[in-house]
Structure 1
C-alpha cells in the first residue's frame, strides 16, 4: 500500500525521485518560513538582543544532545522513516504553539522543545536520500536542490504574508509545510538498508567515527562553515535593515539567495567529477569567507541583491557535497549516526558559538561587526579543509573504510 510508511511507491525510481524532491521542497519550505523571519517575531514581542542571542544559542545545544540519540535509534532499530514521520509532526505542532505565547520564558522553552524534534529531520532525510541515490545511481544534489527552492519560496512568500498579517503567520506556514512533507514521506520507496539491522552502541560508534582523521577534520571545517551560515539566517534580517533595507526586502533577498543554491546544486555533480569533493568543498568555503568579509564593509542593499549568486557558490556547493563527503568517509553501519554527529557539530556547536558571540558583538559594537566575525570564523575553517585536500590523509579514505569493516 503506497500510503504506508513502508510501502513501495508506484512508478519505481521515477516515483521515488519525485517523492524525495517533494519531501525536501516542503521540509525546507517550513525552515524557510521560520528561520529568516523569526527575528521579526522577536521584535514584535519586544525581546532584547541578548535574549535573542540566548534563544538562538540554546537550540544548537539541544541538537548536540538530541542528534546522536536520534542517530542511534535509527541505526540500531532501522526505523528512519518512522522517526522522521514522528519528528516532522511534532516539530510542526510545536512550531504552531509559538503563535500563542509572547514572553521570553515561554519562547525559550518552546524553542528547546522545537529543537529536540527538529534536530532529527535533516540528518534522517539526508540519510534516506543518500541511500536512494546510491542504489539508483543518481546525484544527491539533484534532490537536495529542491530544498533550496522550497527555502527560497518560503522566505519570499512568508515575508509578504508577515508584512501584511503580522509575524504569527510564519508559524502557520511552518506547520503546514511540515505536515505536507509527511504526506510525501509516506510515499517513499522501501529502503534496502532497512532489511538488515545493525547492533551498534552509540558510544562505540562515535568512538569509531572519531578515529577517522578525514571525518574529524571535516567536523572542524563544518563547525566554522555551518556556524556562520546558520547564524546568518538569524541575524541577516537585522543586518539588512541596518544597511538600509526593508522587511519586505529581507524576503526578496532570501528568495534570491536560497534560489541561487538550486542551480549550483544541479551543477555540483560536474564540479565533483572534474575536481573532486575536497576541492569543491574548499572552493565553497572560500567564497563564503569572502562573502562575510564583504558584508562587513556595509555594501549597498542593491549590491547585496545583485551578487546574490555568491550564496549559490558557497552554501549551495557545500550543502550538496557535505553529506556526500560524510557518507563516503564513514562506515555504512553508522551512516545516520555520522550525519547526526556532523550536524551536531556544524549546526549545533558552530551555530551556538556564532549566535552567542554575535549577540555580544551586536551589543558591544554593531551588526556589521558580526559579519567580520563570521568571515574570520569561516577562514579558520579553511585550514582543516586544506589538510584534507593536501595533507597526509588525502588518499586514506579507502583504507579507512576497509579497516572500519573489520
Structure 2
C-alpha cells in the first residue's frame, strides 16, 4: 500500500507535469501564432508578451503576502490555476490588439501565483517529509517538453487554435490534482513589513535578485523568441516543438541529480555553472548556426535551467527569514519571470525589428554573463556573511 508521503509525491509530480504541460503547449508557440495568424510585428509581439511579466512584478509578491498572511496557499493556488485556464481561451475570441493587451494582463495576474505558490508548498513538504524538490519539479520539465512536441505537431496538422484548448484543459485537470495536495501551512510569527525590510537590506539577497533579473529574464524571453529563431533558420512549427522537446526534456535528468550536486558543490557554485552554460548558448545562437547545431545545443538547457532552478530556489528559501519565505520566493519569481522576462521580451522584440534575431540573442548572452559576474560577487560575500543561510 502506498504511504501518505509517497502518495503526496506522486500528486506533486502530476501537478507539476500538468501545469507545465499547459504552459509548454501555449507560450513557446504564442509568438508564432501572433506573427503568422494575427500578423503582428516583432515590436507588437514583444510589447504584448511583456505586459504579463510586468503585471507579475506586482501580483507575485501580493500573492505571496496573501499566502503568508492567511496560511492557506493551497486554496489560492487552485483559484489561480482555474482562472488562468479560463482566461487562456480568451485569445480565440479577441480580434483587436488592445483587447489582447488587456487579456494578457488579466491572465498574468492569476498565472503569477501558480509557480511561486506551488514551489513554496512543495519546498515546505520536502523539508517536512524528506526528499528533494528537484525530484518533484523535474516532472514540470517533462510536462513542458512533451507539450511543446505534442502541441507543435497538433498545431501543424490541426491549426494554431489547438494550443489554447490544450492550455485550458491541462490547467483545469491540474486544479483537480491541486485539491489533493498536502496542506502546507505558512507560518506568520513576525511582522511581515519588518521581514520584507530585512530581506531588502540583506546585500546577498538584493544582489541575487539583480543576478536573477539578468540571467533568468533571457531564459524566460527565449521561450518567446526561440520559435521565431527556429523559423528564421528555416524550421517549421512542428520543428519548433521538437526543438523545445529536446531543450526542456534535458532539464529533467539534471533536476533529478541537482540535490546531490548542490550538497557537494554548494548552491551558488551550481547556480554559477548553470549561468555560464546559458550565456554561452545565447551567444552561439547570435551567430545564427544551422538547424542541426541548434538541435544539438538545445540539450545544454539541462545544465542551465535544470540546475539553476532548484539551486537558486533553495538559496532564496534558505536565505530568507522563516516568516516571509513564501514572500521571498515570490519576489525572486517576480524579478526573474516577471520583471526580467518583461524587459528582455520587450527589448528583444524591438531588436528583432530593428536589427534581427541575432541581435536579440547577443543581448541575452551579454546580460547572462553580467549576471554571472554578480553571482561571483555574491559568492565572495558568503565568506564574510553576517546572517546565516539555513541548510
Distance 1:56 1:394, change over 3 A: farther
CA distance in 2: counterparts of 1:325 and 1:385, whole angstroms: 12
* Alpha-carbon RMSD: 1.6
CA shift for structure 1 position 50: 1.5
Deviation string 1:106-155 (CA, Å, 9 cap, x unpaired) is 11111000000000000000000000111122111000100000000111
Gaps of 5+ in 2: none
CA distance in 2: counterparts of 1:258 and 1:347, whole angstroms: 16
Residue 129 (str. 1) matches residue 119 (str. 2): no
| Alignment match, 1:200 | 191
| Alignment match, 1:392 | 381
5 Å matches for 1:40-55? 40-43=32-35, 44-55=37-48
| Alignment match, 1:62 | 55
User: Normalised by the size of structure 1, how large is the TM-score?
Assistant: 0.93
Residue 225 (str. 1) matches residue 215 (str. 2): yes
CA shift for structure 1 position 307: 2.5
| Alignment match, 1:29 | 21
Q: 1:16 aligns with which of 8, 21, 27?
A: 8
Residue 155 (str. 1) matches residue 148 (str. 2): yes
CA distance in 2: counterparts of 1:305 and 1:11, whole angstroms: 41
Residue 340 (str. 1) matches residue 333 (str. 2): no
| Alignment match, 2:306 | 316
Q: Is the 8 Å Cα contact of residues 331 and 401 (structure 1) preserved in structure 2?
A: no
CA shift for structure 1 position 308: 2.4
CA shift for structure 1 position 189: 2.0
Q: 1:166 aligns with which of 144, 152, 159?
A: 159
CA distance in 1: counterparts of 2:156 and 2:201, whole angstroms: 50
Distance 1:317 1:395, change over 3 A: farther
CA shift for structure 1 position 398: 5.3
Gaps of 5+ in 1: 1-9
CA distance in 2: counterparts of 1:365 and 1:284, whole angstroms: 28
Deviation string 1:23-80 (CA, Å, 9 cap, x unpaired) is 1000101110111000122120111222111111211110011111111100011110
CA distance in 1: counterparts of 2:56 and 2:283, whole angstroms: 28
Distance 1:400 1:285, change over 3 A: closer
Question: Which secondary structure state, in structure 2, belongs to the residue aligned with residue 399 of structure 1?
Answer: coil
Q: Is the 8 Å Cα contact of residues 281 and 297 (structure 2) preserved in structure 1?
A: no
Q: 2:200 aligns with which of 204, 210, 223?
A: 210
| Alignment match, 1:94 | 87
User: Normalised by the size of structure 2, how large is the TM-score?
Assistant: 0.96
CA distance in 1: counterparts of 2:102 and 2:48, whole angstroms: 9
Q: 2:250 aligns with which of 222, 235, 260?
A: 260
CA distance in 1: counterparts of 2:51 and 2:374, whole angstroms: 26
CA shift for structure 1 position 206: 2.3
CA distance in 2: counterparts of 1:99 and 1:108, whole angstroms: 14
Q: Is the 8 Å Cα contact of residues 388 and 394 (structure 1) preserved in structure 2?
A: no
Q: 1:281 aligns with which of 264, 271, 277?
A: 271
Q: Is the 8 Å Cα contact of residues 195 and 321 (structure 2) preserved in structure 1?
A: no
- Aligned residue-pair number: 389
| Alignment match, 2:111 | 118
Q: Is the 8 Å Cα contact of residues 277 and 303 (structure 2) preserved in structure 1?
A: yes
Q: Is the 8 Å Cα contact of residues 74 and 183 (structure 2) preserved in structure 1?
A: no
Question: Which secondary structure state, in structure 2, belongs to the residue aligned with residue 210 of structure 1?
Answer: helix
